[in-house]
């Protein structure tokens, strides 16, 4: 499928997740089969651009095209100016966030709160599309609550304003991340517009990916929580969609090499002090479902230096490789270890949980 002039090699995408989809993690997802990966959401407020957090989120050095930046805000003029700024600083696609259900985002009329004001949605989209010469996309939810699902109206409006792709999470804002995603609404949106539609929500296996694509008719799927600690899910889904064969789990030694490389890039990106803290969630997701993972996580959480963390992961996976050739999860489901897929705030977007938006 295409987004503007960009031809994407596959139809499995990585969702934007606050505190997770930084540049090192996006690179890892792309390396493992994600055809497209969107940045953590960035505030449109110009006063925040000089903060270290926002500067990291706008760091795309060496990133493969297309570089997609997700913006959050509620003022059409401010969002338009932010889109121009990001286009001038390397963004090749602007994604508008109208899907985040976090209370602190909705309280300032951003994210999915915008779905309550369709006229404002139209003004925002029109302003941003006019402001830049690069594709503008929209990620949103099926509505504010179950009594007010307006996903189809929003989709038609966005298409008329020039949006070039829609990503729809199959829940209302009120649903948060409870219950199951409603794929019938995604199917209705797909039938209502001519632009590409991406299905998002609860896709956690190759088999589920195929079922969702068939049920919705969507052009692609977007993976969020299921990629936390399991970035090879993009490759697994791609292989399954192409061949119908269920992929084997990764070789332990391959996973060891990938994860150590990710850690090294993570430490370089954040620096030692912040890197050791922000790496902990990834280490927990990677290991807690493996044999001995719970004990490893307890030990790892007491480590205060990057070299200690790295050595601990290396030794843990080396021992796992001595026991078996391929990764073996011992109990529960992979998503048990995943944090809720949403969040951030409309200020400096400081989050403590991994969240999709």
Q: Of 29, 100, 110, 355, which residue is the catalytic one?
A: 100
> Quick one: DSSP state of residue 162?
T
User: CA separation (Å) from 315 to 286, 310, 322?
Assistant: 14, 9, 11
Do 297 and 326 meet the contact criterion of CB atoms below 8 Å apart? no
Question: Can you count the helices (H) and strands (E) in the chain?
Answer: 13, 15
CB-based contacts of 114, cutoff 8 Å, min separation 6? 74, 98, 120, 121, 124
Report how far residue 148's alpha carbon sits from residue 295's, in angstroms, rounded to the nearest whole number.
46
Report how far residue 43's alpha carbon sits from residue 58's, in angstroms, rounded to the nearest whole number.
11
Nearest to 255 by CA among 206, 342, 328: 328
Report how far residue 293's alpha carbon sits from residue 262's, in angstroms, rounded to the nearest whole number.
19
Is-catalytic flag, 29?
A: no
CA 330-336-339 angle, 5° bins: 140
Nearest to 195 by CA among 138, 151, 140: 138
Known catalytic residues are 100
């Amino acid at each position: 499928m295409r987004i503007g002039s960009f031809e994407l090699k596959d139809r499995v995408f990585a969702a934007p997740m606050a505190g997770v989809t930084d540049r090192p993690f996006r690179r890892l997802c792309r390396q493992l089969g994600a055809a497209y990966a969107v940045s953590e959401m960035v505030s449109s407020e110009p006063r925040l651009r000089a903060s270290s957090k926002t500067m990291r989120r706008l760091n795309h050095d060496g990133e493969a095209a297309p570089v997609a930046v997700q913006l959050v805000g509620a003022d059409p003029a401010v969002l338009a100016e932010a889109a121009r700024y990001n286009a001038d600083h390397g963004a090749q696609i602007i994604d508008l966030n109208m899907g985040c259900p976090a209370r602190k985002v909705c309280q300032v009329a951003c994210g999915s709160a915008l779905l309550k004001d369709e006229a404002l949605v139209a003004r925002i989209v029109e302003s941003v599309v006019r402001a830049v010469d690069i594709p503008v996309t929209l990620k949103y939810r099926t509505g504010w609550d179950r009594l007010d699902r307006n996903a189809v109206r929003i989709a038609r409006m966005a298409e008329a304003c020039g949006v070039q792709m829609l990503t729809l999470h199959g829940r209302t804002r009120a649903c948060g991340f409870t219950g199951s995603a409603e794929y019938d609404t995604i199917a209705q949106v797909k039938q209502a517009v001519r632009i590409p539609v991406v299905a998002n929500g609860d896709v956690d296996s190759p088999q589920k990916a195929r079922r969702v694509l068939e049920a919705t008719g969507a052009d692609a799927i977007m993976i969020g929580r299921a990629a936390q600690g399991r970035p090879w899910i993009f490759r697994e889904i791609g292989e399954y969609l192409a061949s119908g064969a269920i992929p084997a789990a990764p070789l332990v030694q391959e996973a060891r090499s990938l994860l150590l490389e990710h850690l090294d890039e993570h430490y370089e990106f954040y620096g030692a002090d912040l890197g050791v803290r922000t790496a902990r969630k990834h280490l927990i997701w990677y290991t807690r479902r493996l044999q001995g993972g719970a004990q490893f996580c307890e030990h790892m959480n007491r480590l205060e230096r990057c070299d200690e963390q790295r050595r601990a992961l290396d030794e843990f996976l080396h021992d796992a490789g001595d026991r078996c050739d391929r990764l073996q999860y011992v109990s529960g489901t992979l998503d048990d270890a995943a944090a809720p897929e949403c969040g951030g705030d409309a200020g400096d977007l400081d989050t403590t949980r991994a969240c999709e938006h």
